[in-house]
Chains A and B, each alone.
Chain A
Amino acid sequence: MAEVLVLVEVAPDGSGVRKTTLEALTAARALGEPSAVVLGAPGTAASVKGALAEYGAAKVYVGESEDIDAYLVAPKAEVLAQLVAEKSPAAVVIPSTPEGKEIAGRLAIKTGSGFLTDVTDIAADGTATQVAFAGGTIVHSKVTTGTPIYTLRGNSVTPEPAPGAAAEEQVAVSISDAAKQTRVTDRVVEQKSDRPELTEAAIIVSGGRGVASAENFSVIEGLADSLGAAVGASRAAVDSGFYPHSFQVGQTGKTVSPQLYIAVGISGAIQHRAGMQTSKTIVAVNKDPEAPIFELADFGVVGDLNTVVPAATQQITARK
């Protein structure tokens, strides 16, 4: 069976693979037999091999070097290009993160291939599905040159376990000077949350300008915690300083696709919709009956969030 390379996204805190990796391994099976590629500092592969075997990786290529961590993106693309040259895979599948997309672009140039970003599905003949224009249009596309490279949008494929041998193969890593031009001098974590990761969460409760203050975001957090959900925010909420930028959902924030998205005090501007329109179920709470978010909502409550949301939280908590 044809081999498909899947680039592994390792959780930054060393807790294993990100869910995006399991999704990519699952999607890759449509095209052939997935082989996982783990690139990072020495010791990276140790924490992730189990999960890769569980989700069907036949092989695990391990490329470890301090240089991969010390320089931005380019070293990973270089090692991956070397693997593509050696293994002639049928395709390469990469999680659609900012880094993943940069790697895909560089790899495409290095290997003379075409790429498709943010795909939500890959068919056996290589045709990919993409969602364009803030979710309004569904597109089918195909790579016509070289080794097809796909970046897979998070939460669009349900990870399915499959047995894999996960046979480890070390890759000799020697990074060229050309790939060592942008040095990463520090990695700073400004906030940590115990809630689920936005892009991986099954339920998201997002607050907008209507929440009115940073303190009042506790209303959003309360509902989120009662549902085991992640917290999101609109850009207006972020710009007003109610919530940190890393929780922003939308065109210039995160693209999310949870089972349930609850938009509270959010009007539903096109740039916000761009990041959440593919959510399976959308619920909105807004005091303005004309708010565009209601056009998207499966269920909408016209009302003041400050009364509706705390009452709902209380009822949900009481049901447990």
Chain B
Amino acid sequence: MNIVVLVKQVPDSGSERSLDSSDNTVARASADNVINEMDEYAIEEALTVKESQGGEVTVLTVGPAGATDAIRKALSMGADKAVHVTDDAIHGSCAIQTSAVIAAALSQLEYDLVICGAESTDGQVSVMPALLSERLGIPHLSGARKLTVDGSTLKVERQTDGGFWALEAQTPAIVSTWDTINEPRYPSFKGIMAAKKKPVSTVSLADIGVDASAVGLASATSQVLDFAGRPPKGEGVKVTDEGDGADKLVGYLAAQKIV
């Protein structure tokens, strides 16, 4: 079973993040960029499926030239090879445009299964897999907390409020994973060394047959008009419990007319 895992490099959610005031796009150059945490679960799941079914795991990312840390991480966890689509024209693309690029890149690969994270921590759009399913005409099994592969039949438990939905579809298909699906492995020293020798092919828009005018900020389907830091909250009150913590807490709630 050949699997493509989609990974995205994003500004570290634990660091200061912002938009770039020159064009209102995510400030990637100044940020501490890391693999989207949610994609580690997708990689882990792909490796697990490969271990039971055989085949190859290919990492696919669309992003700036520097977006290689995410690829390295995936390869050192155990993925076999990577495709990095990078092109200056992509800068500022909206999710719809990015989905066209990913779809074009996917159509040059042989896959039975595409696995991706449920959302990226920068945009938190969580629609990429649905967009790809729509474009490629393949089924989407979304929000997986469990994936079972039985020949060409895929079964997923889709996480819901208070339970799950059981889903079933045939390959080729795209599965998006929640962080409840597994515990991503840490790359071993051997894995990190081996990753350095694994093939990474860097491709441009022309290589995958996407017209540069179809992507990028100028033709994006939505635009950020302006942004601002959230007004800082007024300094809160902090009290230390000296036997009166509950009194003060209830006093505060009463002052707010909550109790």
Contacts and interface: CB of A to CB of B under 8 A. Distances in A.
Chains A and B are bound partners = yes
Interface of A: 12, 72-74, 77, 98, 101-102, 104-106, 108-110, 113-118, 127, 131-146, 178, 181-193, 197, 203, 227, 244-246, 251-252, 259-260, 270-271, 274, 281-283, 285, 289, 294, 296-304, 307-309, 311-312, 314-316, 319
A118 B120 CA distance: 14
Interface of B: 13-14, 17-19, 24, 38, 94-96, 99, 118-119, 121-122, 124-128, 130-131, 133-135, 137-143, 158-170, 173, 178-180, 220-230, 233-234, 236-241, 245-250, 252-254, 256, 258-259
A257 to B, nearest CB: 13
A257 B95 CA distance: 26
Contact of B245 (A101, A252, A303): A303
A311 B246 contact: yes
Given A109-B96, A137-B228, A182-B169, A297 B134 contact: no
A299 B245 contact: no
Contacts of B160: 187, 246
Contacts of B253: 260, 283, 316
B127 A117 contact: yes
Task: Classify the interface of chain B: helix, strand, loop or mixed.
Answer: mixed
Main secondary structure of the interface of A (DSSP, over half): mixed
Given A298-B236, A303-B245, A102 B140 contact: yes
Nearest to B240: A302
A73 to B, nearest CB: 7
B142 A188 contact: no
Contacts of A145: 221-222
Name the residue in B131, B237, B245, B248 with the highest tally of chain A Cβ atoms < 10 Å from its Cβ. Answer: B245
A192 B118 CA distance: 25
A138 B228 contact: yes
Contact of B221 (A77, A108, A319): A108
A143 B221 contact: yes
A139 B24 CA distance: 9
A282 B158 CA distance: 32
Contacts of B169: 181-183
